[in-house]
Amino acid sequence: MVAEATAKRVTRRRVRTRANLLDAAFAVFAAKGFGRVSIEEVCEAAGYSRGAFYSNFGSLDELFFALYRDRAELIADQVAGAFALDGPDLDVPAAVDRVTDVLLLDLDWLLVKTDFLVHAARDPAVAQTLLDHRARLRGAIADRLTRARGHTQLPAVLGDIDGAARAVIAAYDGVTTQLLLDKDAERARSWLKQLLTALLTDGSDTPA
């Protein structure tokens, strides 16, 4: 019993240490860029030793992947949750409003994400990690649109459900690229609403 309680305390402490390292790394990556950050800087920002780092991550790359995975899964969950509230009869404008209201449009995250994209473009193994996470996000969108089929007609120009899901992600990518440059989050959110509504309807519900 004592050993079990001790193991639980160790597990909780390790989970907390891992979370603190990820939070510290996020702040340092956003401020300096992934390629300019050392393990020592992450440890210093988190208040831990290198030993604590290596007990949770094998390398800075591994930490970076974990950070990206956590944020990518958060976004996929946000999209899936917002689309799930309508039942089978998908109200596209209302669903788009919900998605864009909750969707993570954070400049620091976009800086880190862009670093990851550049890193992935030069390393096929890293690129596959990124492709896997993008596929999960696309799958969450496609799943919701599939369940709405028969109740909601998507524009024929998008082709199939997967094409519609890809178009949604492309719109998000384009808007967030602009956000990185002009730093106007409210404008980005408004423009994303217009784009997604136009993409997923015949255009008659697009805001003026």
State residue 40's pLDDT score: 95
pLDDT of amino acid 196: 84
User: Which pLDDT value is given to residue 129?
Assistant: 79
For 159-183, what is each residue's pLDDT tens digit?
A: 788 888 888 888 888 898 889 899 8
pLDDT score recorded for residue 22 = 94
Give 166-169 contacts, CB < 8 A, sequence gap 24+.
Answer: 166/138, 167/199, 168/141, 168/196, 168/199, 168/200, 169/134, 169/137, 169/138, 169/141
- Helices (H), ranges, 36-153: 39-46, 50-54, 60-83, 92-102, 107-121, 124-148
Give the position of tokens 């890809």.
166
Residue 153, pLDDT score: 66
Weakly modelled stretches of the chain, pLDDT under 70: 1-10, 83-90, 104, 147-154, 202-208
